[in-house]
Amino acid sequence: NAGVTQTPKFQVLKTGQSMTLQCAQDMNHEYMSWYRQDPGMGLRLIHYSVGAGITDQGEVPNGYNVSRSTTEDFPLRLLSAAPSQTSVYFCASGGGISLAFGPGTRLTVT
Amino acid sequence: KQEVTQIPAALSVPEGENLVLNCSFTDSAIYNLQWFRQDPGKGLTSLLLIQSSQREQTSGRLNASLDKSSGRSTLYIAASQPGDSATYLCAVEGEKLTFGTGTRLTIIP
């Protein structure tokens, strides 16, 4: 039981490049979400999904896309990276007491 | 809009002391409040969840209380140990999950 896995752990991008952050869970949770964590700010919700084929925007969705083709996977795509997207990204699965976070991806955009 | 505040941002205490971490929130219409621990470079680990109808929850040396009417929660850590050093975040669940910015706790051996 791996819980929530994220890849890569670290990534450096140049402005304008695109990339996909991968997230997978093996707990059969319907609800999955993506957060970003910036110094001095709480975790902020980017996008979330309540099940395969269903996604919705969170608090800070601009510049990011998501899709949910399976229950297990919830990738986050950066369309055209900007320095403002430098952050640590966390994928989460489940909710309430079953809420589980991945280890995070530290992204730097230069 | 829900706002969650944790003060102080950092706290250092000698090993063995009991300590209290604070969390305040502006909108009392919540379903639950949760405390998390975050170690450097790692994800968040859930410690305790208090339903809105509850007043407190306990797990080992940890005790979390909730006063919805005043918009406050405390996390009490008894007999602190160096392994308790981490950042502690609280989050309230209403329409969405809103996180505080955390208190970075250092236990001095």
**pLDDT at A40 > cutoff 90:** no
**How many percent of chain B have pLDDT more than 70?**
100
Tell me whether residues A59 and B42 touch, CB distance under 8 A: no
Q: Binning pLDDT at 50, 70 and 90, where does residue A51 land?
A: very high
The whole-number pLDDT of residue A96 equals 85
Residues in chain A within 8 Å Cβ distance of B43: 4, 90, 101-104
Q: What is the DSSP string of A23-83?
A: EEESS--S-EEEEEE-TTS--EEEEEEEETTEEEE-SS-TTEEE--SSSSB--EEESS--G
Cβ-based burial of A83 (10 A; exposed 0-12, middle 13-18, buried ≥19): exposed
Q: Is the pLDDT assigned to residue A42 strictly greater than 90?
A: no
**Mean pLDDT (chain A, rounded):** 95
Residue A1: predicted pLDDT: 72
- Which residues of chain A are within 8 Å of residue B102 when distances are taken between CB atoms? 42
Whether the per-residue pLDDT at A84 is higher than 90: the answer is yes
Is there a contact between A45 and B97 if contact means CB atoms under 8 Å apart? yes
CA–CA separation, B70 and B87 (whole Å): 24
